[in-house]
Amino acid sequence: MAGTTGLEPATSDVTGRRSNQLNYVPASPRGISLMLTRLPCAGKNHLWYRGEMKTRALFGAAILSALLAGADRKPTPEEARKFIDDAEQKLLVLAVDAGRADWIKSTYITDDSEAIAAKLDERSIAATVDFAKRATRFDGLTLDPVTARKLKLLKLSLPLATPSDPKESEELTRIAAGMEGTYGKGKYCPTGPASCKDLEALSKILAENRDPKQLRDAWTGWHAIGRGMRKDFVRYVELANKGAKQLGFEDNGAMWRSKYDMPPDRFARELDRLWEQVRPLYLSLHAYVRHRVREKYGDLVGANGPIPAYLLGNMWAQEWDNIYPLVAPPNADPGYDLTALLKQHKTDWKQMVKYGENFFVSLGFSPLPQTFWERSLFLKPRDREVVCHASAWDIDTLNDLRLKLCIDITGEDFLTIHHELGHNFYQRAYNRQPFIFRDSANDGFHEAIGDTIALSVTPEYLVKIGLLDKAPDTSKDIGLLLHRALDKIAFLPFGLMIDQWRWKVFSGEIPPARYDESWWELHRKYQGVAPPGRRSEADFDPGAKYHVAANVPYMRYFLADILQFQFHRALAQAAGCKGPLHRCSIFGNKAAGSRLNTMLEMGLSRPWQDALEKIAGTREMDATAIRDYFAPLEKWLNEQNKGIPVGW
């Protein structure tokens, strides 16, 4: 799961882009931002949420008022250093206490465990607000780089800066909580209460059903929940912008973009550059999928236009791997079945985790502590309710690492374990940093590291660990690459356009009268997908995506998908891999492990460009690694697309 920046709230031990992955939980309760909390990221495919936006928004109100408060006497740089040291020590204690309570809340779900965790959240909020209020005394001072960075991260940690006026602050808090609540309670009831379906049930229809009428009905039914948010969203934009401007930003979108160690406008241009690097591959994938989906659904799919969003297997058309059976190439058998191999070798849950741990040990990392095995949750208990969604925890920000996952002996969980342990080893690598810097270099790095490790789970790796006798010939790889592209490549334009739309809304470029129209214009521009039928400004389709309704920034997921392939290519080169990039595994290579660890140890202490340079030898993100990884597939797609339209 993608990590958050060290001081920034995110949402979920609920889902990642998918509900089976993408979480890391360093030492903190969910629902609090700013220094004492590092939260799991909001998943890309959010299916449920425990409703803590109210806590986050209330905190935003209090913290903004604190940041706007000033002191008369000008303090000294030495006082600033002493202040931040004291704050870190005290907030660390609170974070550890709250993290323990949150672990219990997730592994022993009761009214009492939730109440205790909420109480510790409140205590942490009060302390953080107090420190933030006193921190504003140091605005404008010339400080050493470390102290200055810590104070900068403190100020940039807010995802929602409420206005200083108490009435407006309360109004924005209420609106934010209300929109998230509307999303969380959303259901489609086509014929009355007995027919109601929630998002999980409707998503299952999109994923598995092939009746276009039922698919369209499920899609339209869910997207109707956004209509009730439209009026509140307009006011939310006004108030969020007012709060951001009071902190010195042009608007709320500029505040979000300022978190990336470069000017906001330059960051936006950087994203467009990355997209242009990978766009040719996406166009080839889109053309192939459109042609195959048209073979299934006929004239419902135009020969050279956008693909109807409801036919792509996902409520938001953000990933297309659920329709892989419709588009799979002939002879797509990869030559092995990982689930069958695991069961054939009588692999149990502990061996599943050991495979993941041994991967990192082979790179030169120390084994996981004994407490990891004693305190983690590996199996679903029979005597109580737990949150089974996979997540990696760092309770004390030092060495109390834990994994929470109800393990099934499947290839999917095998990959998930490797991914989640990537978060755990990252957490331990930066544990010597000051508390504020114990997180990933930017909010895309944590998730990218987890996925980088999963990219090394190749047939060659399976041979080395004794699960597979012989790696299949690379001619078997097109099916695997296509399946992965339907997840990774299909997601990229969606990951880009969600915040592109919000940034334009915050800046005023998109007015309320064009909310839905512009939403679909961007879908068409970047994704080449279209809604079923005509939409109007009575609709509010952005609200049918959790991250929009809940004020959760989304660009981290686009960055993670770019960075994981850049990391993988750099580490494969360090390991001396000579074969196709998609067959390279860094398993057993100490040189690759050393390069990886050097970057991980930096945490959030330096700009992300410095961290990227340590692992990739460049200070610039580079999406060409994606083209290298999928090169055999891109060549195959271009051959398949001869004689059919490309683009829309």
SS3 at position 197: strand
Q: Which helix or strand (DSSP H or E) is residue 276 part of?
A: helix 264-297
- Distance set, CA 336 to CA 409, 584, 598 (Å): 16, 18, 35
Burial class (CB in 10 A: 0-12, 13-18, 19+), 194: exposed
SS3 at position 419: helix
Would you name the residues annotated as active-site residues?
Answer: 389-390, 419-420, 423, 447, 547, 557
Output the CA angle 558-226-192, nearest 5 degrees: 130
Identity of the residue numbered 299: D
Burial class (CB in 10 A: 0-12, 13-18, 19+), 213: exposed
Question: Is the CB of residue 405 less than 8 Å from the CB of residue 397?
Answer: no
**Which sign, positive or negative, has the C-alpha torsion 210, 215, 218, 219?**
positive
- CA dist., res. 464 & res. 39, Å (int): 35
User: What pairs with residue 26 in β-bridges?
Assistant: 394
What's the token pair of residue 228? 């009730």
- CA dist., res. 483 & res. 630, Å (int): 11
Nearest to 268 by CA among 500, 111, 78: 500
Question: Is the CB of residue 308 less than 8 Å from the CB of residue 300?
Answer: yes
User: What pairs with residue 308 in β-bridges?
Assistant: 530
Nearest to 162 by CA among 58, 44, 21: 58
User: What pairs with residue 188 in β-bridges?
Assistant: 197
Question: Is the CB of residue 307 less than 8 Å from the CB of residue 301?
Answer: yes
